[in-house]
Amino acid sequence: MNIANKDGMFFLPPPVTSALDALEEKGYEAYAVGGCVRDLCRGVTPHDYDITTSATPEEVEACFSGRRIIETGIKHGTVTAIIDGEPLEITTYRTDGEYLDGRHPESVTFSSEINDDLSRRDFTINAMAYSPRRGLRDPFGGREDIEKKLVRCVGEPDLRFGEDGLRIMRALRFASSLGFETDGETAASIHRNRRLLRIVSAERIYAEYKRLITGVFAARILTEFRDVMFTVMPELEGDEYENAVAAADKAERDVITRTALLLGREENLPALRRLKPDGRTYSSVSAVLRHINGAFETDDVSLRRLLGVVSYENARRIVDARRAKGLMAEDEAARVTDSLYEMEARGECISVRMLAVTGRELMELGVPEGARVGEILSRLLEEVITCRAKNDKAELTRLAAEMLKK
């Protein structure tokens, strides 16, 4: 999809142009702003669009009267308008007050100047605005930095990071995901101010970490800014770090696989727990870590036993992680991965709950309620996993009766 015409103007989706036109026709300035403009300048179709305007929140609401409006953050100048079914955040030009907590401004002041709004943003590549009527506003050289593939702070880096310590992780995330270098002064300031991350919430750090670790250029950033990583995950510091980064770089760009490889061993799981990921991610990383370093059998019976304790997805992650560490050859990893996909497609019996007989049915046969039911179910599962019996109700019922007699 082409997103710029021969005159260098960007194509915006109809809901965005409709919103801009509605504001402009009422006499206000309005621009698409931030990440969407960065992506347009890179030739990438944005996932979402934000709008900034000289109109106050009340004037925005009046402009879109008759449409659904959500007062997303009206105190800070943001309302969400539903345009042709699409939610668009529309924020008044503003300047920020003091950042006393190292994360949020104590107050915001509305402005009538677009440059005031752009000057408070973190990096030059995010400090651009575009309007079909007014063209590109780029007071800090963001488009040139995109061409140079450079992450650079707007203004003084120490001030930008001092305002909001999370910007340190955002800088690394952009460099990793976009494949950009970090401007010299910006990089020096990141190293100098890395301890500001200690006052940033773990959840916000983890949100940036996920996008950093899965970036195409993650290894370079993890190596260049190892001191930052050691600040948020001190368990990683040590002689094993470089090998862990190299292994993570060879794995698929999956946050669970790469995190397991970066941690290296189960003893380092507290580093992840401290970042407060969702429970499913934590348990998956833990499951992968339990199986990537020791002995690992790849015959079908062993794989079925593995699938009794981990999901198919995590089993494939374990294979990929072992391949990335050099513990499994490429061709063997491909074969085992194919086997796992085939087992999943066949719906093979890999757990007690997939057996063709249930505990209640065993009790109807005369198996006493309690531990004996679980024992017989486990023995039946072993018979099925090892292909000594089919997962067939009649056959398993017969085997259960024989086991009960013994």
Reported as a single tens digit per residue, the pLDDT across 39-58 is 999 999 999 999 999 999 99
pLDDT tens-digit series, residues 161-183: 999 999 999 999 999 999 999 99
Segments of the chain with pLDDT less than 50? 1-7
The residues near 23 (Cβ < 8 Å, ≥ 6 apart) are: 29, 30, 51, 53, 55, 60, 63, 90
CA distances from 170 to 69, 160, 166, 177, 217 (A): 30, 12, 6, 10, 14
In CATH, what is the architecture of 14-144?
2-Layer Sandwich (3.30)
Tracing tokens 């990438």 back to the chain, one arrives at 44
Condensed to tens digits (0 to 9), the pLDDT of residues 72-103 reads 777 778 999 999 888 999 999 988 766 655 55
Let me know the angle formed at the C-alpha of 185 by 142 and 223, rounded to the nearest 5 degrees: 100
Answer yes or no: are the C-beta atoms of 169 and 197 closer than 8 Å: yes
3-state secondary structure labels for all residues of 287-354: HHHCCCCCCCCCCHHHHHHHHCCCCHHHHHHHHHHHHHCCCCCHHHHHHHHHHHHHHHHHCCCCCHHH
Whole-number pLDDT of residue 98: 66
Are residues 88 and 15 in contact, defined by beta-carbon separation less than 8 angstroms? yes
Residue 128, SS3 per DSSP: coil
Q: Is the dihedral of CA 265, 266, 271, 277 positive or negative?
A: positive
* Contact of 380 with 362, CB cutoff 8 Å: no
What was the pLDDT predicted at 6? 40
pLDDT at residue 7, as a whole number: 47
What is the pTM for the complete model shown?
Answer: 0.87
Q: How far is CA 168 from CA 185, 206, 246, in A?
A: 13, 13, 23
- CATH for the stretch 149-232: 1.10.110.30
Half-sphere exposure of 125 (CA within 13 A, CB side): 23
Where do the domains of the chain lie? 14-144, 149-232, 250-348, 352-405
Q: Which two tokens stand for residue 243?
A: 């090998």
What residues have CB less than 8 Å from 98, skipping those under 6 apart?
105, 106, 107
The pLDDT of residue 366 is 81
